[in-house]
Amino acid sequence: MTENLFDEVGTLLRTAADQVVLPLFRQLDDADIEEKAPGDLVTVADRRAEELISAGLRRLWPDSVVVGEEAVAEDPELLRELRRSGPVWLVDPIDGTANFAAGRRPFVLMVALLIDGDPSAAWVFDPLVGTLAVTRPGAGAYVNGRAVRTTGASADPGRLRGAAMSRYLPAAFRPRVQAAGARLGELLPGQHCAGREYLDLLLGVQQFVLFWHTLPWDHVPGTRLVRAAGGVARRFDGAEYHPAVEGEGLLVAADERVWTAAREAFFGGA
């Protein structure tokens, strides 16, 4: 992957935001918003942004394949492409669609590059504040061109700040989350935007985040960035998160010590 190609992907996300996403923010009509499934929204901005981004990625790397969230909604078989050999782009045109549709922040645009099925590079762009996080093969994580590291956070549970995405948590797990709140410094309810949670972890705003649903377009870009910055992204049982392995539940943390402390707070000796 050339340096120019790496930079062009960031430019492509900025273009999609400027030409499609931001002009439609707080300008949507009811007819511009649909449900793909109960509670799962898609807007005209999602579809147009994915078309623009996908076309641009194919131009940048003609032999590559693009797997977009909205394309998968139309044809779930496209998910098989994530395991193919060669370059595959994974696109989330608007992460935080429910926020976007309601005229709320945050929402982000995300892309990841997989090579032979393994995450290799990632981009997360928050257009409302102009924050772009990137990582490329063999490199660390950068936010607006500045190298960032997540390591070195306190592992004292009473000083940890993080979020637990409660919307999809099974009823049996909710008491664990509520109990963990008493052991942690601050437990937030989440922002309904996985990409923004990952950005906040990179920037040190929080030290961990817990998810239940782990769709690849929501988590491959962010986990690639966090790991490049020294962080940890694992299933609750300690297995490393990988997009080709199905499952639910994901705990992401600033480093190994924080992951262990957060897991202990949520699960105890379980």
Determine the residue type at 22: L
CB of 88 within 8 A of CB of 1? no
| Ramachandran assignment for 5, one of left (phi > 0), alpha (psi -120 to 50 degrees), beta (any other) | alpha
Sequence-distant contacts of 103-106: CB under 8 A, at least 24 apart: 103/25, 103/26, 106/191, 106/193, 106/195, 106/196
Tell me: is residue 33 an annotated ligand-binding position: no
Tell me: is residue 126 an annotated ligand-binding position: no
CA–CA separation, 242 and 99 (whole Å):
27
CB of 81 within 8 A of CB of 65? yes
DSSP 3-state assignment of 143?
strand
Q: Any residues with CB less than 8 A from the CB of 225 and at least 6 apart, and which? A: 122, 124, 133, 134, 135, 141, 198, 202
- Taking the CB of residue 110, how many other CB atoms lie within 10 A of it? 28
Tokens 């239940």: give the residue.
Answer: 212
CA–CA separation, 33 and 81 (whole Å):
28
User: How much of the chain is helix, strand and coil, in % rounded to 5?
Assistant: 40, 25, 35
Tell me: is residue 92 an annotated ligand-binding position: yes
Residues making up the binding site: 69, 92, 94-95, 218
Residues making up the binding site for Mg(2+): 69, 92, 94-95, 218
